[in-house]
Amino acid sequence: MTSPSLPLAPKPAFALAGLSAVFYVGALPGFDLWPLALVCWAPLLVAMQGQSVKRATLLAWASGGLMASLGFYWVYGMLRVFSGLPAIACLPITLLFGAFHGGRFALLGALYARASAGGWHPRAAVFLAFIASEQLYPVIFDWYYGNSVYQIPELTQIAELGNPILVGVALLASNVAIAELVLARRLGQRPSWRAIIALFSVPLVVAIYGTVRIGQVESDIAAADPVRVGMVQANMGLDAKRKNRKEGVKRHVALTRQLTAAAKKAGEPLDLVVWAETSIAGPMSEKRAYKYYSQHFSRRAGVPLIFGALLQRKVDDARGYVFFNTAILTDARGKVQGRYDKIRLLPFGEQLPFGDRFPELYKLSPNTGRFSSGSTLAPFSLGEHKINVHICYEDILPAFINGMMQDEPVDLMVNMTNDAWYGDTTEPWGHLAQATFRAIEHRRFLVRSTNSGVSAIVDPLGRIVVSTKPFEQQAVVGEVAFLRPPKTPYETYGDIPWWLASAAAVYMAMIPRRRGAGESTTDES
């Protein structure tokens, strides 16, 4: 990238940083102005050129903080309703949430500026800094820039090579090209057209690859036997589920019977029905839960069933009991055939960080759960097939799901979620968008059943082929296939390439390429 000898003044620089944030928010799932993903980084890149390391970092942090505060606006509503905190405390916590997540952008800015100041080529520096920011920075709700194009399958198929980060790298290329054109014009210089054309060509090459892979994967799907799966979206509010647990079971059973009766009448019986996370509300002792499930609903379903439950175990320590967010598989006779306890618990939702060590913390947030993590990744067995089941936001964690897939080969992925916490906002759409990439990374169907939406079936190309409307009571049926294709490159290598690229970014930021490099991003292109 070409760097001007004089950086932009603070006002226009921060204005451009803000513009990047607004563009980024527009591209987020739920807003779905995905073409903005091709330009959203360019204003910030222009703003950071020639700035000191501190100023570049501050510009990036301001941009990221604004983006997170606007894009994840639903955090405030969730805190207001469920945290137990007064409204006056929820706003500063929301702003702190935005500032913390803005740190991902700040890391990019710091690594990029230091590497450029150290004599490394700015173009290489920005790509590696971007990778490091998405790979290294810890966030509460994982999100990736590449998720913004989840509705454009031609651009997302490279996720099988390197998860959403690789998609983001491809999208970043057009942003870098635009920034270089703007900077060259500002300097009155002739841009490096060879580099510009190469950068603009990256999304095109990705789309060509995606088009080829779409045809190949569609052939694999067509060759497989169809499997009919039902999803029940009961749409019960969290308070309603807790106060009237019998109604929750009754509603799920009634909707399931409607599905099975209609399927039988059409001569197309269901192979599996999936309910949502904690569809059976209220903790129940492990010792009597299985018998209760069979007597009260699973046997009456008359079809293999995966449902969410809360299980309780007595322990001999100060806690007395531990609780698990659990998925249960029962066969057509109602007998329990499998259990999975959620492993990756949601911070501040299902548990407080360090809450086990300092129980007093729960007095500050009395509505936060006190769940314990599960200990096994073993898939469910349905006949001769294996089903990978994960719960709630586990499906937005590429490395975690990849680890589950390594444990034992599976034929289908199932996720159960309850996004009612966030209300009728963009969050359920964003959650679904992120989950679609797991189907691409592993080339399996994903069945995703939620309490309040959006329930969906995602095919191995990441396309949403069946979906429900949010906050409506629905029961839908779709076709999937049990698939066990060869391992994808991402399944084989995981995040190793991104760890190496991140190490390179840190090295470039810490070790100058030349002696006497200054504290700015100025460098020859």
Mean pLDDT of 273-300: 91
Q: What is the pLDDT of residue 519?
A: 47
Q: What is the pLDDT of residue 160?
A: 99
Q: What is the pLDDT of residue 515?
A: 58
**Cα(158)–Cα(170) distance, rounded to whole angstroms?**
9
Q: Closest Cα partner for 24 from 101, 131, 77?
A: 101
Domain boundaries, the chain: 10-219+493-510, 225-482
**Per-residue pLDDT reduced to its tens digit, 345-397:** 987 778 877 777 777 777 776 667 788 899 999 999 999 999 999 999 999 99
The answer, yes or no, to whether residue 248 has pLDDT greater than 90, is: no
pLDDT band at 239 (very low <50, low <70, confident <90, very high): confident
Secondary structure, 3-state, 136-149: HCCCCCCCCHHHHH
Asked if residues 391 and 342 have their Cβ atoms less than 8 Å apart, the reply is yes
Asked if residues 306 and 289 have their Cβ atoms less than 8 Å apart, the reply is no
pLDDT band at 168 (very low <50, low <70, confident <90, very high): very high
Mean pLDDT of 314-340: 89
**Cα(145)–Cα(36) distance, rounded to whole angstroms?**
11
The answer, yes or no, to whether residue 524 has pLDDT greater than 50, is: no
Choose the weakest-confidence range: 72-81, 128-137, 225-234, 322-331. Answer: 72-81
pLDDT band at 516 (very low <50, low <70, confident <90, very high): low
Q: What is the pLDDT of residue 5?
A: 58
pLDDT band at 258 (very low <50, low <70, confident <90, very high): very high
Computed over every residue of the chain, the mean pLDDT equals: 92
**Per-residue pLDDT reduced to its tens digit, 419-467:** 988 999 999 999 999 999 999 999 999 999 999 989 999 999 999 999 9
Correct CATH for 225-482 of 3.60.110.10, 1.20.120.1760, 3.40.50.12780, 3.30.2130.10: 3.60.110.10
Cβ neighbors of 468 (< 8 A, separation 6 or more) are 231, 233, 450, 453, 454, 455, 456, 474, 476
Asked if residues 419 and 431 have their Cβ atoms less than 8 Å apart, the reply is yes
Enter the DSSP assignment of 126.
H
Q: What is the pLDDT of residue 334?
A: 93
Give the side-chain half-sphere CA count within 13 A for 255.
26
pLDDT band at 11 (very low <50, low <70, confident <90, very high): very high
**Cα(199)–Cα(172) distance, rounded to whole angstroms?**
9
**Per-residue pLDDT reduced to its tens digit, 178-208:** 999 999 999 888 999 999 999 999 999 999 9
The answer, yes or no, to whether residue 4 has pLDDT greater than 60, is: no
The answer, yes or no, to whether residue 27 has pLDDT greater than 70, is: yes
**Cα(207)–Cα(525) distance, rounded to whole angstroms?**
28
Q: What is the pLDDT of residue 127?
A: 99
pLDDT band at 68 (very low <50, low <70, confident <90, very high): very high
pLDDT band at 169 (very low <50, low <70, confident <90, very high): very high
**Per-residue pLDDT reduced to its tens digit, 207-218:** 999 999 999 999
